[in-house]
A and B are shown apart, each in its own frame.
Chain A
Amino acid sequence: MPDINWSQQLLNGLFAGSAYALFAVGYTLIFGVLDILNLAHQAIYMLGAFCALVLVTGNVAGLGPLPGGMQLPFWLATLLAMLVAGLLGILLDRLAFAPLRKRPDTHFSGMISSIAVALIFEALATWLFLPQRSQFPAGTIRPGAVTLGQGALSYSRVLVIVAALVLVVLLTVLLRFTKLGKAIRAVAENPKAARLLGINVEAIYSFSFFLSSALGGAAGIFYGLAVSRLDPTMGRSVELKGLAVIILGGMGSVPGAVLGGYLLGLTEVLSVALTNTSNYRDAIAFVLLFLILVLRPSGLLGARRVREA
């Protein structure tokens, strides 16, 4: 048995889990409300990160400096980039999902049109930011680390954990206790009934996309800062694991996505520590995904039917 630094593993697991959870809550929200799989969520995640980068550096790699040369502090850049990501989400809905809502095969065609939009977003990002990696400039966040026992985690990674906590709590409060949240849940439950209750269902759809995408953008920003790496395909690797996370937690369930995220993050870290190799780490998510789909398809906290009885 290798000598394992458990506190370090715990910190690593929390970091990975927070990153997954933050990506997955927005992903699963759209599934819960609209019953569709939004495969462009990863592209919004990536664009959110780049948008914050542009605001911090005042520079677009493929085009040059922004006019005015304005450079914003990180926190302000993050808020603005989340806003932009949210608006991109609304655009995405109008472009890829809204026109297909009435189709009999709307789930499939919507999934495919979201792939199309993801390709377009990725192409634009490649053009604007070049295919190679970028990163937030040194000093965007204070260097240094938090220590726990024998483990240490850099501030930028701790920020991911904190951001995930704060945003998930805010989202939960919004969904549980506000009028808007109640309307969202009513639409998720039954759009027809919600319409009869006088809820503007289309507006709720737009707002859900805004919310989901703003969260997705935030996930991209904080993760990109933590691993100091941004590139136009950064969303792809997290996309499939994010799928595993929301299946694990139960499609459409926000608490499920959080639980699934941490479960996956900790399981991965644990497997690496115990087997002393990271070779099979990336397969864990998908083995879990497959097992859950076959054995308990509604996920850990979900109630939705996903297969024929």
Chain B
Amino acid sequence: MFGESVRQLMAINALLALSIYLTLACGQLSLANAAFMGIGAYLGAVLTLNAGWPFWAVIVAAVIVPMLVAVLVGLPSLRLRGVFLAIATLGLGEVLRVVIVNLRATGGAEGISSIPVKTHDWHLALALAVALYLTWRLRGSRMGYAFEAIREDETVARTMGINTTRYKLIAFVLSAALAGLAGVLKAHLFRAITPGDYGFVQAVDILTFAVVGGSASFLGPALGAVLLTALPELLRSNVLRDVVNFEAGWQTLFLNGVILLLVILFLPNGLVSLFTRQWRRPTPLASEPATVEAT
């Protein structure tokens, strides 16, 4: 029912949504996913074009390097409370953008076009399967319980022997891996990348997938990504074409805003909560600042 490129984009966006799910599952509102995606995309493009690496090696590099950056950035910033982590990670994205604009290899503000198409559908299917498997096996695992504890109450988690710093870092690093993977696959699919593709707008889009779908389980973000990717297509379909002109762009923006607002106001656990057990809501979106006055 959807064109090929829409289906491919759904898979990429689902990967990104699962990437942010990993940090949200651990109570961390990180907005660094777009930046990690950009690192994966640019590194991949340069390795393919300038170094002639085989695609599998490019993918490995585009997954591992964001993980290393995540360790470096995560160690100091994961101690930040509440929205301050979101702010710090947004800043990371901006620094990355400026660096990319100024490096010679990355083609400046114009970006890199003419990246060879190397991503095939089976790459996407495999990547998505791996990501879904990872997030599915998380629930019920020792680490998954630790994540849930941190998300619910970080202070209590610490007094129960959970090394919260370690688990938050693991979540951040795994999240970076998935984002890097999405970045490199997308770059080798749609061929052109620019620094602006990995900024605030992309970061907010990824967050929107997770919030609209619901971040209480891994299915929510994936569902959110698929639905929101399909939405502009659905609106362009024949039925509606005569009613409103969804080519203009502002309507999509408007609708995204309205959907996000309605979901956050009326469905705090996202669209999936319509289908899940009632009492599971409301799961906090991310952990509120830890409190010391542990009375």
Whether A and B touch (Cβ < 8 Å) is answered with yes
Q: Bound state CA distance, A112 and B208, in angstroms?
A: 8
Whether A75 is near chain B, meaning CB under 8 Å from some CB there, is no
User: Which residue of A is nearest B101, CB measured?
Assistant: A279
Q: Bound state CA distance, A37 and B286, in angstroms?
A: 15
Q: Given that A112-B260, A113-B265, A306-B84 are known contacts, is A282 also in contact with B254, CB under 8 Å in the complex? A: no
Q: Which residues of B contact A143 (CB under 8 A)?
A: none
Q: Bound state CA distance, A263 and B261, in angstroms?
A: 36
A293 close to B87 (CB less than 8 A): yes
Proximity string of chain A (73-104) to chain B, C-beta cutoff 8 Å, 1 when within and 0 when not: 00000000000000000000001100110011
Partner of A113, one of B90, B99, B204, B261: B261
Interchain nearest-CB distance for B269 vs A (Å): 11
A108 close to B286 (CB less than 8 A): yes
Could you count the A-B residue pairs with CB atoms below 8 Å apart for me: how many are there? Answer: 145
A120 close to B261 (CB less than 8 A): yes
Q: Bound state CA distance, A113 and B98, in angstroms?
A: 28
Q: Given that A107-B288, A297-B84, A306-B80 are known contacts, is A120 also in contact with B258, CB under 8 Å in the complex? A: yes
Q: Bound state CA distance, A116 and B86, in angstroms?
A: 16
Residues 263-295 of B at the A interface (beta carbon under 8 Å): 264-265, 268, 282, 284-286, 288-290, 292
A243 close to B90 (CB less than 8 A): yes
Whether A109 is near chain B, meaning CB under 8 Å from some CB there, is yes
Q: Bound state CA distance, A283 and B96, in angstroms?
A: 8
Which of the segments A18-26, A121-129, A195-203, A216-224 contacts the partner chain? Answer: A121-129
Whether A207 is near chain B, meaning CB under 8 Å from some CB there, is no
Given contacts A103-B282, A108-B286, A131-B249, 20 further A-B contacts (CB under 8 A): A100-B264, A104-B288, A107-B289, A108-B29, A108-B83, A112-B211, A113-B264, A116-B258, A118-B257, A119-B253, A120-B257, A123-B250, A239-B200, A243-B90, A244-B91, A279-B101, A283-B95, A307-B80, A307-B84, A308-B79
Interface residues of A (CB under 8 A from B): 37, 95-96, 99-100, 103-105, 107-109, 111-113, 115-120, 122-124, 126-127, 131, 236, 239-240, 243-244, 247, 279-280, 282-283, 285-287, 289-290, 293-294, 297, 305-309
The 6 closest A-B pairs by CB, nearest first: A119-B257, A123-B254, A120-B257, A116-B261, A116-B260, A283-B98
- 21 residue pairs of the A-B complex, CB under 8 angstroms, read A105-B284, A105-B285, A108-B29, A108-B82, A109-B264, A116-B258, A118-B257, A120-B258, A120-B261, A123-B251, A239-B200, A240-B94, A243-B87, A243-B90, A244-B91, A283-B99, A289-B87, A290-B88, A293-B80, A297-B80, A307-B80
Interface residues of B (CB under 8 A from A): 29, 76-77, 79-84, 86-88, 90-92, 94-95, 98-99, 101-102, 200-201, 204, 207-208, 211, 248-251, 253-254, 256-258, 260-261, 264-265, 268, 282, 284-286, 288-290, 292
